[in-house]
Chain A
Amino acid sequence: MADPPKFDKKSRYTEGRGIAGAYEGETVTRRRLMEGGVQLAGGVAVAAIALPALGFALGPLLEEQEPERWQDVGPEGDFNDETYVPKVISIVPEVGDAGKTTIYVRKDNPQKDKRVKDQDAPPPYVAISTRCAHLGCPVRYIQASKKFVCPCHGGVYGFEGQVEGGPPVRPLDRFYTRVTNGRVEVGKRFSLNSELRRFPHPRDPSNHLDGLWQYLYPGRPTT
């Protein structure tokens, strides 16, 4: 009588493990291959839908959204270097009134003003954003004290937009300015840190920009 075939449970080969219908040299059972294949196919099908959908939702994070746009805010004669003149510009023209914002504009005073670092030439006009550097409420300029005051949490800024009190983490943002045919034009926004160093990619309110903080709040593709 022949001995019954001996099977080794740890064999590399399905035949050696005694699996019925095994081919010679086969290491993966057909059931296991089918399982893996079905799961792979399902994964590919889900990814084919989920990845484009995710990219679609996250797309705006990668697009630059503010085109280079210069807006006329009035003739040069409207402005002096003693006080700010409020002007309304459109940040997002597509949404009507919700996209408008007030800015404060004055003439640059080369004797008194601190120079913004990293700027090629001192701009002829200073345009200050009313977006509070704390959490984005609109600040108001008060001529009597020559200060900007935020209504929400009591942030106070000096004449040049530097922080003088309250929770704000950096000076008020500014806009680029230029003069064309005797008229003042306002361009893109830029942010400053407390040493008035310019950051060409404007940061959100609440983002510190001094010292190591500037690396924790990187400039984003959208700005």
Chain B
Amino acid sequence: MKLPTPPLPKALRPSPKRPGQGRNGKNGRNGPPSPEPGVKDHVVEGTATAVGWLDERTGATPFLRGFLYRKVPKGTNWFYTLGSATLFAFLSQAITGVFLAMYYEPDATRAYESAAHITNDVFLGEFVRGMHKWGSSVMIILIFLHMGRTFFFGAYKYPRELNWVIGVVLLVLTLMMGLTGYLLPFDQRSFWATVVAVNINASGPIVGPYLADFLRAGAEFGPTTISRFYAMHMLLIPGLIVALIGAHIYLVTKLGTTAPPWLKAEKKDLVTEEIP
């Protein structure tokens, strides 16, 4: 008497043939047998599986499709890339800033030496500091060009007024980044420029003197002034900027972009009402 063979556990069973594989050739028709799956097939299938796993659990595809493949109006041109350019300038500032923070010491007696150390001694320090320094000017120029594009194309009009307001707040925050970052090298130029800038703040009636006190942490440039500027420069203002960039991009995606003003709407798109 022969006992039946116990079934193999699922994991050990040979997997069924992939479609198009086997004796009958492609698509089950007669023909030459397709080759065994190679490394490339495994890579493709593995990636697809991983992406599918993520997508099934996050539902990212509809979001990404709407975000990346949204329709843009006719006439969209290179001027429409200025906002993204500003965003990338900000990202570049964020990345170089994080790495500069690894070497920089926000202390009135050490700041200048540590900044000089970055420039003179650290491997590629001069390059990264230069990227951050020149990148700040690039970002300011780009944000103004972006603002000019929005203004001259009339893209601030209904229903996009709120996005204009958010953009103006972002502009002010970017200028505040410039102001607070200027002190950090702590050389003669940055020190006196900041003295003057804080005193300009102090010239506002009633609130001005208190604002200046807040910036300096007191009536004079003291031991905590530079750490205060440092904290604002790398935590407070960037946090606000990131949050507002999120809102800005959300609204752009939701409301869409505008066609350039020189493009007339096509006749069939116009809402017309025939007078009887």
Whether A associates with B in a native complex is yes
Q: Is the CB of B222 within 8 A of A65?
A: yes
Chain B positions 186 through 229: 1 when the CB is less than 8 Å from some CB of chain A, otherwise 0: 10000110011011101101101110111011111111100000
Q: Is the CB of B220 within 8 A of A61?
A: no
A-chain residues with CB within 8 Å of residue B272 when the two chains form the complex: none
Q: A137-B195, A222-B219 are in contact. Are A95 and B109 (CB under 8 A)?
A: yes
Q: Is B108 interfacial (CB 8 A cutoff)?
A: yes
Q: In A112-168, which residues have CB < 8 Å from any B CB?
A: 134-138, 152
Say which residue of B186, B196, B214, B220 sits within 8 Å of A66 (CB atoms).
B220
Q: A98-B108, A136-B199, A223-B219 are in contact. Are A60 and B224 (CB under 8 A)?
A: yes
Could you tell me the distance in whole angstroms from the C-beta of B194 to the nearest C-beta in chain A? 10
Say which residue of A61, A91, A99 sits within 8 Å of B210 (CB atoms).
A61
Q: A92-B222, A135-B196, A202-B219 are in contact. Are A217 and B209 (CB under 8 A)?
A: yes
Chain A positions 186 through 219: 1 when the CB is less than 8 Å from some CB of chain B, otherwise 0: 0000000000000000111111000000001110
Q: Is A58 interfacial (CB 8 A cutoff)?
A: yes
A-chain residues with CB within 8 Å of residue B210 when the two chains form the complex: 61, 220
Q: Is the CB of A206 within 8 A of B220?
A: no
Q: Is the CB of A95 within 8 A of B222?
A: yes
Say which residue of A58, A99, A136, A207 sits within 8 Å of B214 (CB atoms).
A58
Q: A94-B223, A204-B202 are in contact. Are A137 and B213 (CB under 8 A)?
A: no
Q: Is A8 interfacial (CB 8 A cutoff)?
A: no
Could you tell me the distance in whole angstroms from the C-beta of B139 to the nearest C-beta in chain A? 26
Could you tell me the distance in whole angstroms from the C-beta of B244 to the nearest C-beta in chain A? 19
Q: Is A63 interfacial (CB 8 A cutoff)?
A: yes
A-chain residues with CB within 8 Å of residue B221 when the two chains form the complex: 92, 95, 98-99
Q: A136-B199, A137-B192 are in contact. Are A218 and B218 (CB under 8 A)?
A: no
Q: A92-B223, A136-B195, A137-B195 are in contact. Are A65 and B218 (CB under 8 A)?
A: yes
Q: Is the CB of B220 within 8 A of A65?
A: yes
B-chain residues with CB within 8 Å of residue A203 when the two chains form the complex: 209
Say which residue of A60, A91, A216 sits within 8 Å of B206 (CB atoms).
A216
Chain A interface size, under 10 / 10 to 19 / 20 to 34 / 35 or more:
20 to 34
B-chain residues with CB within 8 Å of residue A99 when the two chains form the complex: 108, 220-222
Q: Is A96 interfacial (CB 8 A cutoff)?
A: yes
Could you tell me the distance in whole angstroms from the C-beta of A149 to the nearest C-beta in chain B? 16
Could you tell me the distance in whole angstroms from the C-beta of B17 to the nearest C-beta in chain A? 58
Chain B positions 62 through 102: 1 when the CB is less than 8 Å from some CB of chain A, otherwise 0: 00000000000000000000000000000000000000000
Q: Is the CB of A206 within 8 A of B222?
A: no
A-chain residues with CB within 8 Å of residue B216 when the two chains form the complex: 60
Chain A positions 46 through 61: 1 when the CB is less than 8 Å from some CB of chain B, otherwise 0: 0000000000011011
Q: Is the CB of B213 within 8 A of A222?
A: yes
Specify the chain A residue showing the minimal Cβ separation from B202: A204
B-chain residues with CB within 8 Å of residue A134 when the two chains form the complex: 199
Could you tell me the distance in whole angstroms from the C-beta of B183 to the nearest C-beta in chain A? 11
Interface residues, chain B, with chain A CB atoms under 8 Å away: 108-109, 186, 191-192, 195-196, 198-200, 202-203, 205-206, 208-210, 212-214, 216-224
Across the A-B interface, the 8 shortest Cβ-Cβ residue pairs: A206-B203, A204-B202, A95-B108, A216-B205, A60-B217, A65-B218, A94-B223, A222-B219
Sample of 9 further A-B pairs with CB below 8 A, known A60-B216, A138-B192: A58-B214, A60-B218, A98-B221, A135-B195, A204-B199, A206-B208, A217-B205, A222-B213, A223-B219
Could you show 22 A-B contacts with beta carbons less than 8 Å apart? A58-B214, A60-B213, A65-B218, A65-B219, A65-B220, A92-B223, A95-B109, A95-B221, A95-B223, A134-B199, A135-B195, A136-B195, A138-B192, A204-B202, A204-B203, A204-B209, A204-B219, A207-B202, A207-B209, A216-B205, A217-B206, A223-B219
